[in-house]
Structure 1
Amino acid sequence: MMRRLGPADYRDMPWKNGGGVTRELLKLPHPSDPARFLARLSIATVGESGPFSLFPGIERTLMLLDGAGMALTLGGAREVVLDRRYQPFVFPGEAETHCRLLGGPVRDFNLMVDRAQAEGSLEVVHLAPGETRTLAGAATVVLHVLEGRAAVAGTPLAAEEMLWLEAPGSLALRSDEGAVLAAILLSPRSLAP
């Protein structure tokens, strides 16, 4: 199965803690609990410092898209500074996390995965103009174009568009003008090494 998604398919969702709104790009249903998700992709605008919502049992990956950055304090430990674009940071969703903005609002990309059910990874793929790259498959692959234009398995994608593929083999990614993509690979926990 292959499905192409764009801004008209995304929806705005209130934060679990009531502190803001996230644009939900994709939510994969949980295999046994309809009130939960297996995996969720979103882009959030963080306008002020404050606590993150808690997501017990969820592995979170956060990546800065725009802005000066933020410093996260997890469970009272030392701060982790996220001030470079496209650098994924993984942390447990149940950790009490406080965000301190470094210089105004930021936009970030979020991957959340139920760690008991699946393993997920987020890789940033930079394609130079005219470059082709092969990406290994997984049970589920989601490609989101962050910048530029690309073609995936012959399907053209522009910035903010996404391709959701179930059980693909290896994928050929190409960009004639240059592109940056977020590649999300998901595998069921029972199949993960």
Structure 2
Amino acid sequence: MIRLLSAGQYTDMPWKNGQGITREVCRYPQDGDYDWRISLATIREAGPFSAFPGYLRNISVLEGEGMFLTIDGQRSPLIAPFQALGFNGASTVSCEIIGGPLLDFNVIYREAEIRTTVEWSGAKEWLYEGGLRVLFNAGPALRVTVGGEPYTLNHYDSLLVDEPGNLVIHAEHSEARLARITLFSR
């Protein structure tokens, strides 16, 4: 399966703690409790994060100057744009944003069922190592070739690929910012 997800198709969902809205990029399964979810969220002010016991989380800043997270009483280094930070979903987490509202990118996955990698990169070839691969474009439009088939990813579009074959990412701009997520079943 290869599926292109347009940013205009993402679904708005309320935060568990009721303090904001998440735009859900994709999740599995679609209905009920999920094993994994990828989403975007605007953080307008400092405050607590929702708890997700049984899940691990990975967060990155897409827009804005950055943020600090305090996780179980320990303050993180500054999370600058396009740096991924992983933490336990059961942890007590609060955030302090720098310089105003920001947009973040979240990967959350069931610890007992899934293992994942999240990496930010530019244009390159992505070799197949198994699992579901999700490519999220946080930069200008670019082309991706999967098994010789071309796809165009506009700003904040995603491509899901769960079949063998290398992905070749053709970015014509030096501002290419791509989240490469691999999800493996345990």
What is the CA distance between 1:35 and its match in structure 2? 2.8
Alignment of 1:157-168 (within 5 A): 157-168=153-164
Distance 1:114 1:167 in 2: 22
Distance 1:37 1:167 in 2: 21
Q: Say whether the 8 Å CA contact 1:150–1:156 is kept in structure 2.
A: yes
Q: Say whether the 8 Å CA contact 1:141–1:168 is kept in structure 2.
A: no
SS in 1 for 2:8: helix
Distance 1:164 1:18 in 2: 29
Query: Counterpart amino acid of 1:139?
Result: G
Are 1:61 and 2:53 an aligned pair?
no
What is the CA distance between 1:24 and its match in structure 2? 0.7
Q: Structure 2 unaligned runs (5+)?
A: none
Aligned twin of 2:15: 15
SS in 2 for 1:16: coil
Bigger strand fraction: 1
Give TM-score, length-normalised by structure 1: 0.87
Residue among 99, 109, 121 paired with 2:105: 109
What is the CA distance between 1:146 and its match in structure 2? 0.4
Distance 2:20 2:57 in 1: 18
Identity rate, percent: 35
Distance 1:101 1:39 in 2: 26
Q: Give the paired residue count.
A: 180
Distance 1:12 1:82 in 2: 28
Distance 1:23 1:82 in 2: 24
Aligned twin of 1:44: 41
Residue among 66, 71, 77 paired with 2:68: 71
Aligned twin of 2:6: 6
Distance 1:66 1:173 in 2: 22
Distance 1:176 1:71 in 2: 32
Aligned twin of 1:84: 80
Q: Structure 1 unaligned runs (5+)?
A: 128-132
What is the CA distance between 1:95 and its match in structure 2? 0.3
Q: Say whether the 8 Å CA contact 1:140–1:168 is kept in structure 2.
A: no
Are 1:136 and 2:119 an aligned pair?
no
Query: Counterpart amino acid of 2:88?
Result: P
SS in 1 for 2:164: coil
Q: Say whether the 8 Å CA contact 2:79–2:85 is kept in structure 1.
A: no
Q: Say whether the 8 Å CA contact 1:139–1:168 is kept in structure 2.
A: no
Q: Kindly provide the CA deviation profile for residues 150-171 of structure 1, in whole angstroms up to 9, marking residues without a partner as x.
A: 2212212111111111133322
Distance 2:114 2:2 in 1: 20
SS in 2 for 1:8: helix
Distance 1:134 1:158 in 2: 18
Aligned twin of 1:125: 121
Give TM-score, length-normalised by structure 2: 0.91
Q: Say whether the 8 Å CA contact 1:69–1:81 is kept in structure 2.
A: no
